[in-house]
Amino acid sequence: MLKQILSGVVIGVANIIPGVSGGTMMVAMGIYDKLISAITGLFKNFKKSLKFLFPIAVGMALGIVVLSKVIAIMFDVIPFQTNCLFIGLIIGSFPFIVKNVKGHSVKIQHIIACLLFFGLVLGSALIGEGSGEEATLVGGIVPMIKLFAVGVIASATMIIPGVSGSMVLMILGYYDAIISNISLFIENVLTWNVDGIIEGLMIFVPFGVGVVAGVFIVAKLVEIIFQKFPLVAYWAIIGLIVASPFAIFISAGFEGVNVISVITGVVALAIGAVAGNKLGGENAEETDTEEAKAA
């Protein structure tokens, strides 16, 4: 359970950082396939799915609520090294992703899927530098409908590997508003400001319902794709994963990078690679063990 919580923390933190894909981190932690199956099978196998999803959800909540401020400070103080840490997590998990296509012949559709999604990630990073007009979150029927729609879009992009949900929120103009209101809502809960809590709920309930709806819709579509075209899906993910480090650096830029930051960045990358390899490997072994038992 601790491994799943830690994986959830990484995914949660990744989902609030523009340019970093939460879906990519799900793949990096070796839990993507199982997570999709647990979401789509929640009502059919409620107990089993909940047992898997609950610790990950707890970890994501901890990552978003507790570590988001720590990560924000890290990005302000040591942005290059922090990006290197996330890239290391992706690199460390790569061998466990490649093993899904090992031993199978490479066909033209696999290459097309890989290159197409490689280009998709880089393209998203290149156009993601600008953002739309910042939204103002207020109560009312129309704003609540908009928040529901934004929640659906956000969750859809957060669950797809290689696509940064927070970057999409930034482009739509909702990123700063959502993040700042999360901090404000937590503050209102801690001080028991009832009016502030009600205002926060008018924002987060429609947004949260949209997120949940989007997760179920996208998870079902992803499950169908993996069932019908598994190798094409894995090659698409490989394209996404290979492009992700480039996309992160494109989004982050290299301003203020010097010799010391490069050296410490390499150290951070190595730490991330070891952590990604450890978490990805353990989750992969756990999945293999459960599949063997089921067989």
pLDDT score at 129: 46
The continuous run of DSSP H or E covering 172 comes out as: helix 165-172
**Confidence band, pLDDT 50/70/90 cuts, at residue 109:** very high
Query: Residue 280 above 70 pLDDT?
Result: no
pTM of the model: 0.63
Percent of the chain exceeding pLDDT 70 equals 79
What is the crossing angle of helices 259-294 and 79-98, to 10°? 30
pLDDT score at 199: 82
pLDDT score at 74: 80
* Terminal Cα-to-Cα distance of the chain (whole angstroms): 23
Query: Residue 20 above 60 pLDDT?
Result: yes
Specify whether the backbone of 266 is left (phi greater than 0), alpha (psi in -120 to 50) or beta.
alpha
Contact between 243 and 118 under an 8 Å Cβ cutoff? The reply is yes
Q: Please, which residues have CB within 8 angstroms of residue 130's CB and are 6 or more apart in sequence?
A: 171
Query: If you average pLDDT over every residue of the chain, what do you get?
Result: 78
Instruction: Tell me the torsion sign for CA atoms 214, 217, 221, 222.
Output: positive
Average pLDDT over residues 38-57: 87
Q: What is the pLDDT of residues 198-255, one digit of tens each?
A: 888 888 888 889 888 888 888 888 888 888 888 998 898 888 778 878 877 776 667 7
**Helices and strands, counts by H and E, the chain:** 13, 0
Closest by Cα among 34, 7, 8, 40 to 289: 34
Q: Please, which residues have CB within 8 angstroms of residue 36's CB and are 6 or more apart in sequence?
A: 219, 222, 223, 226
Contact between 15 and 178 under an 8 Å Cβ cutoff? The reply is no
